[in-house]
Structure 1
Amino acid sequence: MADVGNLGNEALKRKERLKALRAKKQKRSAHNDDGEHEDSSEKEQLPKPIFRSYKPKSEVLKEGSLPRIKPEDVSEKVKDQLESAKTDHSIDEVDLTNLAPRKPDWDLKRDVAKKLEKLERRTQRAIAELIRERLKASKEDFANVINAASVTENQVDEDD
């Protein structure tokens, strides 16, 4: 119930503000009626029209029209452009590698190259780890295994 009382007070305040605004507006209109008119001052402030393509028939409006503009001679500019187009461009400067078509899967290889590098590193690590495990399992000396591997490589080279 307290809200209803507050709403009533707010409504009364709003009515008072509106009355004050109306009174203020009436004072302004009364002042303008006694002295200068608003309409005449607004007419003086309006800009005068400028006619670019319209030809007014009224003598009063003809003052605001712009004089006709003659088109500029562009024949010299056209001649200059034609002369610049006649110059011979050497074909020797063209790089044929840029003109050659690329393979249809070049973009796929480019995108996959980074991933392949990572996989290659992981593969090398895994191979090295497997070799270490085999060596530990066989419990042989590392030097003997390396010597045996180099001996087999030499034999393969001699056979070729």
Structure 2
Amino acid sequence: MEIARRPAVRIVCFDADGRVLLLNWQDPIDGHRLWEPPGGGIDPGETPLQAARRELTEETGLDPDAIDPAFVVVERECVWKGRRMVGPEQFFTARYATAEPVIGQDGLLPYEREELLGHAWIHPDDFAGLPDVLEPPSLPELCRALAAS
């Protein structure tokens, strides 16, 4: 299996009630599904914070100015589109003053529209009940640590 190393970011979005926004994706190659925070690759010339703001806007329509510039580095490894994606990702946080802010997906690329099954605001204590894989697997602990900071 091809190994891909790409610089990437994720944004852990907290709503007013402590829930976290997760996106549910389906791999177009093998059909497996996963839940993960919004995010994606860092484009050439972008800083990680610029990439986080762009990705959050594209995937959710949420206010990118809510992103805290501090981040935590998380080592990732998952299979997506027939490639083993490995390497560090910067995880940023964003906090919203309302419960379950409305998500817009006008910025999604055509292939992303096909692969995105939906989204949900879920409390970290309820991650274990998700019907599909959670990525990264350490997200519950990470969310608890980020919520406390």
- Richer in strand (by share): 2
- Richer in helix (by share): 1
Structure of greater Rg: 1
**Relative contact order, higher structure (CA 8 A, sep 6+):** 2
